[in-house]
Structure 1
Amino acid sequence: MNTKTILIVDDEPRTRQGLKKTLDAWADGKYQIFTAANGEEAIGLMQKQKVHILITDIRMPEITGLQLLKMAKEQNIFPVMIVISAYSEFEYAQEALRLGVINYLLKPISKKALIEAVEDALQAVEKQERAGMMEKVVDKKLVDASTQNPLDRGPIREAMDYINKNIKNELTQKEVADHVHLNPSYLSVLFKEHVKLNFSEYVTRRRIQRAKELLITTNFPINDIAEESGYKTAKYFIKIFKELEGMTPSAYRKNQQ
């Protein structure tokens, strides 16, 4: 279940309930919306429950909104943050921006402004999640291969692009060499020199990277993922995946979830 969670923190009950009511009507059950009356209650809730979007008042007794944001960061809690305030003092806005707040709303908040701010925040959450996902699947050797930049790497860059585009298909060194108009054995030498991986290892790593992306982002059966990654049989795909990742594709998928 990947329901996004929104937490509203405000010490004024009317404001707190008003914001919740607006968001409940807008969310129509798609998101979980919680409230907290103060910073302490908010931190307690965030420790127990993943909060994707935090909407907090700045002026609160005991723990201010800005202190709450600092405390969350110190505890490695990183929701997308929106602050609200009845005060338009510039230093509050400046400090909030330094802490990574994406929106600063002034009271009284219109329903439209609140909903727009939350919609922007949801986009930011999705962007963060995509980045986190790519970090999980990234293969350091492939990143290094892409960032190496020798002067005469035109045909090698072209060969890598061709492999990446055709990863679902059977790929031979001869086919790729023909595509970039090089002799296969010369391509082999150049490839190893520039990419720091031999041809077949690069192809295997690209196939497994593709498989990892599909395992995390789709519910495709393992057979389909094997095929999409360029493997004729699921059995051989599972064997290669396990050699490279130390676990089966099913275990990898379960781990990431």
Structure 2
Amino acid sequence: MKNGTTILIVDDEPRTRQGLKKTLETWAASGCEIVTAENGDEALDIASKRPVHLLLTDIRMPEMNGLELIKAIRAGGSDPVVVLLSGYSEFEYAQEGIRLGVVNYLLKPVQKAKLLEAVEEALRVAKERLRTGAMEKIVDKELAAMREEDRLVPQPIQEAIRYIEANVKQAVTLREVAEHVHLNASYFSSLFKEKTGMTFSEFVVRGKMQAAKKLLYSTGMPIADIAEEVGYATAKYFITLFKEYEGMTPSQYRKELPDR
């Protein structure tokens, strides 16, 4: 995780602040943007105008200390990965940092090797957070809840679900799937609703929408191609359904996803 990544250094000591910036700019080689602030208020102003992926902040600063800054940034809607810097080794700071989810704690004067090691680890954590956040956004909670109760679902319904998922590109019908699992269509329909908590058609659409969300995140495919990939003949109908289920168009959804 480098391209498009912003690292914010906050320290009231100019020499420390500029030294850290110079070290990280040399290391990043234009892969990250390194910005600095001399106090908490300036840092909050920066964070309000742009995403901050990694925050390196001194603990002891006038007016607003580093721990207060972390809380204020999060209250403002940002949640960067944090590395704390301090010239003091008081244990209570480390304890509070742990409670706030700080990933590392460096004592001043910071050794170059330790700084770069801490930053690389923090960026790995940031990347994993983004990936996890994207996966949570992609996963259909209704489908996930149903799968948690999979052991309670009869074998024919489990087989039907596997068939539907394997044929996400096709316009599968209730009668087709009922025949596949050797059940009467009417009985299959009522059994499917009883055991999954959703109608056959709702399950099919939810499955297609989840497949579409994965493609929106993991590929740059045009919307029309994604519509075709999940079994819809026209992009217009796909977009209508997607908006009905997700509350936004596929293009809007893609824009809101974190970078891969």
TM-score category (smaller protein): 0.7 to 0.9
1:123 pairs with 2:128: no
Deviation at 1:9, TM superposition (A): 0.9
Residues in 2 aligned to 1:81 and 1:246: alpha-carbon distance in whole angstroms: 33
Q: Secondary structure at the match of 1:142?
A: helix
Mean CA deviation greater in 203-212 or 93-102: 203-212
Residue 157 of structure 1 corresponds to 158
Deviation at 1:41, TM superposition (A): 1.8
Residues in 1 aligned to 2:253 and 2:238: alpha-carbon distance in whole angstroms: 13
Deviation at 1:151, TM superposition (A): 3.0
Cα distance change on mapping 1:120 and 1:161 into 2, 3 Å: farther
Deviation at 1:20, TM superposition (A): 0.9
Report Cα offsets for 1:32-54 as digits up to 9, x if no partner.
Answer: 11011122221222122221110
Superposition CA RMSD, Å: 2.8
State whether residues 81 and 101 of structure 1, in contact with CA within 8 Å, keep that contact through their aligned partners in structure 2: yes
Residue 81 of structure 1 corresponds to 82
State whether residues 153 and 196 of structure 2, in contact with CA within 8 Å, keep that contact through their aligned partners in structure 1: no
Q: What TM-score do you get using the length of structure 2 for normalisation? A: 0.84
Residue 45 of structure 1 corresponds to 46
Residues in 1 aligned to 2:248 and 2:78: alpha-carbon distance in whole angstroms: 29
Give ranges in structure 2 of 5+ residues lacking alignment. Answer: none
Residues in 1 aligned to 2:105 and 2:95: alpha-carbon distance in whole angstroms: 10
Deviation at 1:175, TM superposition (A): 5.1
Deviation at 1:216, TM superposition (A): 4.1
Residues in 2 aligned to 1:103 and 1:54: alpha-carbon distance in whole angstroms: 11
Deviation at 1:178, TM superposition (A): 5.7
1:96 pairs with 2:86: no
Residues in 2 aligned to 1:116 and 1:206: alpha-carbon distance in whole angstroms: 42
Mean CA deviation greater in 96-105 or 180-189: 180-189
Q: What TM-score do you get using the length of structure 1 for normalisation? A: 0.84
**2:60 aligned partner, one-letter code:** R
1:112 pairs with 2:113: yes
**1:160 aligned partner, one-letter code:** I
State whether residues 215 and 221 of structure 2, in contact with CA within 8 Å, keep that contact through their aligned partners in structure 1: yes
Give aligned-pair identity as a percent: 57
**1:228 aligned partner, one-letter code:** E
State whether residues 87 and 106 of structure 1, in contact with CA within 8 Å, keep that contact through their aligned partners in structure 2: yes
Residue 25 of structure 1 corresponds to 26
Q: Which runs of 4+ in 1 moved over 6 A?
A: none
Residue 63 of structure 1 corresponds to 64
Deviation at 1:79, TM superposition (A): 1.1
Q: Secondary structure at the match of 2:105?
A: strand
Residue 205 of structure 2 corresponds to 204
Deviation at 1:179, TM superposition (A): 5.4
